[in-house]
Amino acid sequence: MGQLEATRNGYSATLQNSLSSLRADGYDPASIQAVEGPQSPVPVLPDDPQQFAQAWNALTPEQKDAEYHQNPFIGSHPGMPWDPPDHLGKDHYNRLHLSDLQQHTQADVDRMQQRVNQLLNGLYMGDHSQSTTDELNALRPQLLAARHTPEGYKTVQATLNRNDGVKRYLGLIDDKGHAAVAIGNPDYATRNAILVPGTGQDLSAFEGSDSKSLAMFRAALRADPSLNPSDVAVTTWMGYDRPMNLFEAASPIGPAPVQRRSIRSKAECGPPMSVGRRSTL
The confidence score (pLDDT) of residue 104 equals 95
The confidence score (pLDDT) of residue 49 equals 96
Distance (Å, whole) CA 147 – CA 164: 29
The confidence score (pLDDT) of residue 200 equals 73
Determine how β-strand 232-238 pairs with β-strand 191-195: parallel
Q: pLDDT (tens digit, 9 = 90+) per residue, 89-119? A: 999 999 999 999 999 999 999 999 999 999 9
Distance (Å, whole) CA 187 – CA 140: 45
pTM across the whole model? 0.73
The confidence score (pLDDT) of residue 43 equals 83
The confidence score (pLDDT) of residue 198 equals 80
The confidence score (pLDDT) of residue 201 equals 83
Please give the angle made by the CA atoms of 102, 235 and 206, to the nearest 5 degrees.
40
Q: Is there a contact between 228 and 198 (Cβ–Cβ < 8 Å)? A: no
The confidence score (pLDDT) of residue 240 equals 82
Distance (Å, whole) CA 240 – CA 257: 11
The confidence score (pLDDT) of residue 112 equals 96
Please give the angle made by the CA atoms of 178, 180 and 184, to the nearest 5 degrees.
175
Low-confidence residues of the chain: pLDDT under 70? 1-40, 242-281
Q: How many other CB atoms are found less than 10 A from the CB of residue 223? A: 11
